[in-house]
Amino acid sequence: MKRTAFTSFWCSLFALTACNQNGSDTAASSISPSYSRLLRTLYRNTVPTVQSATLAHELQQAAGVVLLDARTPAEFKVSHLRGARFVNFDSVATETFVELDRSQPVVVYCSVGYRSERLGEQLHALGFQHVRNLYGGMFEWINEGYPVYNAQGPTHNVHPYSALWGAWLKRGNKVYE
């Protein structure tokens, strides 16, 4: 039963992304139409989003944005946004973030934005006032040509989470660790 539901979900998802729909998504004009449709199926729209270009500009302005990465330790180790703090998605439910100022702007991200939206919901519940989710996640950040880093510095390596999700990653060296 579970396998049938899982298979049905993925078949529906790929059928959805293969549809040829005309029209633009004004919230994500640079994102491919198929990726944008995928994100619409994943997001609950419970956390405001921020486009990669907007976030890149804000980070250049030293606006004091806190970046929280809601991926796995292996994903974070391969690469992340500069200055991001790792938040293990598996322990988000018990995290209280007492060391963070509730009024400071926070941007959460993961590979595509699904896990980070859950983290953003948790932050809202904890009283954070200015939380946004990176639209399209790290994949869109990289697809638009913005830099990522690891412990050694700038890198082109990216952990695509899985071969299935890695199909949405158009740039970077896919590294599964």
Stronger pLDDT, 2 or 155, i.e. the higher one = 155
Find tokens 């990176």 and name the residue. Answer: 134
Residue in 164, 134, 159 with CA at minimum distance from that of residue 172: 159
3-class secondary structure, 53: helix
Neighbours of 47 (CB within 10 A): 21
Q: Which amino acid is at 84?
A: A
pLDDT at position 14 over 70: no
Strand bridging mode 49-50 / 153-155: unpaired
pLDDT for 110 = 97
Q: With cut-offs at 50, 70 and 90, classify the pLDDT of residue 114.
A: very high
Is residue 109 a contact partner of residue 134, using CB atoms and an 8 Å limit?
Answer: yes
Is residue 93 a contact partner of residue 49, using CB atoms and an 8 Å limit?
Answer: no
Residue 93 buriedness (CB in 10 A; 0-12 / 13-18 / 19+): exposed
* Span 30-84, pLDDT tens digits: 788 999 999 999 999 999 999 999 999 999 986 689 999 999 999 999 999 999 9
